[in-house]
Structure 1
Amino acid sequence: MSTQNRHPQTAEERSARIAVTLFPLLILAGGVAAVLTPGTFTGLGALVNPLLGVIMFGMGLTLTPVDFALIGKRPIPVVIGVVAQYMIMPLLGWGVSMALGLPPALAAGVILVGCCPGGTASNVVSYLARGDVALSVAMTSVSTILAPFLTPLLTLWLAGRYMPVDAAAIGLSILQIVLIPVLVGLAVRYFLPRLVERLLPALPWISVAAITVVVIAVVSGSAGIIFSAGLLVFAAVVLHNGLGYALGYGAARLFGLPTAARRTTAIEVGMQNSGLAAGLARTYLTPEAALPGAIFSVWHNLSGAAIAAYWRRRDDRAVVPEELGRR
């Protein structure tokens, strides 16, 4: 969907827009509750991976063959975005951790966030920012498909400097909770399209509920460290996310992509599947290492909504003088 294609929103798009706007507030409320009463949520840990599978199944339901056709028609922007995703964010995670002198567990958690694929909310944020939504979907899909291979290898390379990393187990887990659910969702969409069309408006809310529970489970398991290092982790997340936007936009501009594609690339690079990072860190690293992913889940939605609003206002201000000039 280009910046010129501003047709009325479908029920799915309206639902997704409301969900991504309220998502940070719901997740923030859940996080606060988990910090204040961590014992209340101790039983939620076992639900983290199944809920991540539900989220990725929902992502698969939203995809169609048309989304993948773009990869063949316009491969260069997709390749630029995916390469930037898996180069910029992992190295930024390592660099930010070094610059802030993060403890090993937190550094590994920040790096793991950077090594994960693009966030599922990035497609909605790209739409709100008047970016290239078709390109956004293609980038998210490709980075997700590559995740079982690239995420564990990059995590082993960079986070393995701080603590032991079982790359094979992480890769198998991503295959089980990310790639397989996405493929099953694609198959269901293909064979039962009418049923899925009726379900699409509810999918953003299912994802919001699932990610909120994941964050509550992660935060309740690392509530103690929040009081001792919470501000440091927050600073790392803000730097990681903000520099990801800037360098993603810069990479797209360097290769001469149009404005809509630049915005999409910035959003795809800056927004991570941080729920996946939190779940993997909790399972294969430590509860403390899951904290950056939980905080990133809140922050990147707030920052994504803010940058989308800025670009929309910028477009609207540019349109007014142009319209006055025609009169």
Structure 2
Amino acid sequence: MAKVQQFSSWLTKWFTLVVVLWAILNFFEPQTSLWAKSYVNYFLSIILFGMGMTLSIEDFKRIIRMPLMVIVGTVAHYLIMPLLAVLLCWIFRLNGMLAVGVILVGCCPSGTSSNVMSFLSKGDVALDVSIGLLSTLCAPFMVPLLMSALASSYVQIPVEKLFLTSVQVVLIPVALGVIVHTIFGKHVQKVTVALPAVSQVAILIIIGVVVAANNAKLFSAETALLLPVVMLHNLSGYTLGFLFSKLMYKIYPKGFRYAQQKAITFEVGMQDSALGATLALQAFATNPIVAIPSTFFSVWHNISGSVLSTWWVRHDAKHGIEADSDTGTIHRGTKQVKLGAVQA
């Protein structure tokens, strides 16, 4: 298991670069991953089964213990990102399947990468995990509902297919993972060390399938606007998520402090793009182009999340802001004490 952990740590460190190189390989050699096109739902199920195996009853109790923050964070995610997607489609005049793809990734739950970014930025990881869990469990209901409301003007939305696929690849695997963890307890910990690597490999396969299936259209004139749209979608999500959490601090300062604001920022701005790509390939099988925005998002939000978390840590260290700060503002009194100590 030591070698598995070592490989997992290496893959986590270089995951964004590996994703880019893997995408390039599949762009020029589409046969590399096309074989897996019919199995993407199984690969996503493996990812979410692994997620379920890392969860315990305590994780669900945490949602009950702090319901306001978790519910508010989840609502913010499902409100901000879908509406941003619609707005960007209108601004950039995207139509048809491309617009459906952008809105689909906007309607997905928050991505597991946000947990890592929240940890790196010294945010509230427990809140991050709780929001991610609740948004994921709501996905089979929220994704079809939001897609029907926001994307039906572009094409007919297969609501039933979205729902059934979401249940199949989200709820059932997560539930099974939790059951396995509950029954086997500590024995599962011997296996969970390999789960990050397994999940990342599964994500790579899904990305490879999307790139391979769309290699003729990936960088065509038709899809030229998708990259800036995806970048703006993600960055605007961070911005609005942070502003929303700052507003909530004014309403409920006890709960929405600096660490919680960081968690909500990442939870709002980062999407489960692997789920978006899988739903696109399953529910819109004849139009794989719908999965392209999810693939772009998968690469980009890992880059932006890493940059933002690194900047946040350096900013806090530079200004002497503690991780348990109320608002993240510089405490002048503390600064004066430090200066006085130096002068003495």
Same fold per superposition (TM over 0.5): yes
Tell whether the 8 Å contact from 2:5 to 2:194 is kept in structure 1 after alignment. Answer: no
Supply the AA of the counterpart residue of 1:255.
Answer: M
User: What is the Cα deviation at residue 230 of structure 1?
Assistant: 4.4
Equivalent residue runs for 1:1-327 within 5 Å? 19-228=11-220, 229-256=222-249, 257-285=256-284, 286-319=287-320, 322=335, 324-325=338-339, 326-327=341-342
Tell whether the 8 Å contact from 1:20 to 1:301 is kept in structure 2 after alignment. Answer: no
Structure 1 residues 71 and 41 mapped into 2: Cα distance closer, same or farther (>3 Å)? closer
User: What is the Cα deviation at residue 41 of structure 1?
Assistant: 2.9
Q: Secondary structure at the match of 1:317?
A: helix
Aligned length: 317
Supply the AA of the counterpart residue of 2:262.
Answer: R
Supply the AA of the counterpart residue of 2:146.
Answer: L
Supply the AA of the counterpart residue of 2:246.
Answer: R
Moved more, 175-184 or 158-167: 158-167
Equivalent in the alignment of 2:327: none
Q: Deviations over 1:85-138 (max 9, x none)?
A: 110011111111111112311110010001111101211111111100000111
User: What is the Cα deviation at residue 39 of structure 1?
Assistant: 3.5
Q: Secondary structure at the match of 1:186?
A: helix
Supply the AA of the counterpart residue of 1:301.
Answer: N
Q: Secondary structure at the match of 1:164?
A: coil
Q: Secondary structure at the match of 1:160?
A: coil
Tell whether the 8 Å contact from 2:165 to 2:282 is kept in structure 1 after alignment. Answer: no
Name the CA distance, whole Å, in 2 between partners of 1:231 and 1:203: 35
Supply the AA of the counterpart residue of 1:47.
Answer: Y
Structure 1 residues 174 and 162 mapped into 2: Cα distance closer, same or farther (>3 Å)? same
Name the CA distance, whole Å, in 2 between partners of 1:100 and 1:16: 39
Q: Secondary structure at the match of 2:122?
A: coil
Name the CA distance, whole Å, in 2 between partners of 1:222 and 1:153: 27
Name the CA distance, whole Å, in 2 between partners of 1:227 and 1:170: 27
Moved more, 229-238 or 245-254: 229-238
Supply the AA of the counterpart residue of 2:206.
Answer: V
Name the CA distance, whole Å, in 2 between partners of 1:305 and 1:202: 22
User: What is the Cα deviation at residue 247 of structure 1?
Assistant: 0.6
Q: Deviations over 1:57-94 (max 9, x none)?
A: 01111112222222222111111110011100111111
Moved more, 225-234 or 206-215: 225-234
Q: Secondary structure at the match of 1:87?
A: helix
Name the CA distance, whole Å, in 1 between partners of 2:198 and 2:301: 19
User: What is the Cα deviation at residue 19 of structure 1?
Assistant: 4.1
Q: Secondary structure at the match of 1:223?
A: coil
Tell whether the 8 Å contact from 2:107 to 2:143 is kept in structure 1 after alignment. Answer: yes
User: What is the Cα deviation at residue 15 of structure 1?
Assistant: 8.0
Tell whether the 8 Å contact from 1:116 to 1:274 is kept in structure 2 after alignment. Answer: yes
Q: Based on CA coordinates, which of the two structures has the bigger radius of gyration? A: 2
Structure 1 residues 142 and 78 mapped into 2: Cα distance closer, same or farther (>3 Å)? same
Supply the AA of the counterpart residue of 1:270.
Answer: G
Structure 1 residues 38 and 289 mapped into 2: Cα distance closer, same or farther (>3 Å)? same
Runs of at least 5 residues in structure 2 that lack an aligned partner in the other structure: 250-255, 322-333
Tell whether the 8 Å contact from 1:80 to 1:252 is kept in structure 2 after alignment. Answer: no
Name the CA distance, whole Å, in 1 between partners of 2:5 and 2:318: 24
Structure 1 residues 261 and 232 mapped into 2: Cα distance closer, same or farther (>3 Å)? same
Tell whether the 8 Å contact from 1:20 to 1:124 is kept in structure 2 after alignment. Answer: no
Supply the AA of the counterpart residue of 2:290.
Answer: A
Name the CA distance, whole Å, in 1 between partners of 2:66 and 2:88: 33
Name the CA distance, whole Å, in 2 between partners of 1:20 and 1:97: 32
Q: Secondary structure at the match of 1:225?
A: coil
Structure 1 residues 281 and 38 mapped into 2: Cα distance closer, same or farther (>3 Å)? same
User: What is the Cα deviation at residue 18 of structure 1?
Assistant: 5.0
Q: What TM-score, normalized by structure 2, do the two folds share?
A: 0.87
Name the CA distance, whole Å, in 2 between partners of 1:139 and 1:301: 19
Tell whether the 8 Å contact from 1:113 to 1:293 is kept in structure 2 after alignment. Answer: yes
Q: Secondary structure at the match of 1:227?
A: coil
Q: Percent identity?
A: 38
RMSD: 2.1
Structure 1 residues 14 and 272 mapped into 2: Cα distance closer, same or farther (>3 Å)? farther
Supply the AA of the counterpart residue of 1:146.
Answer: C
Tell whether the 8 Å contact from 1:12 to 1:200 is kept in structure 2 after alignment. Answer: no
Greater helix share, 1 or 2? 1
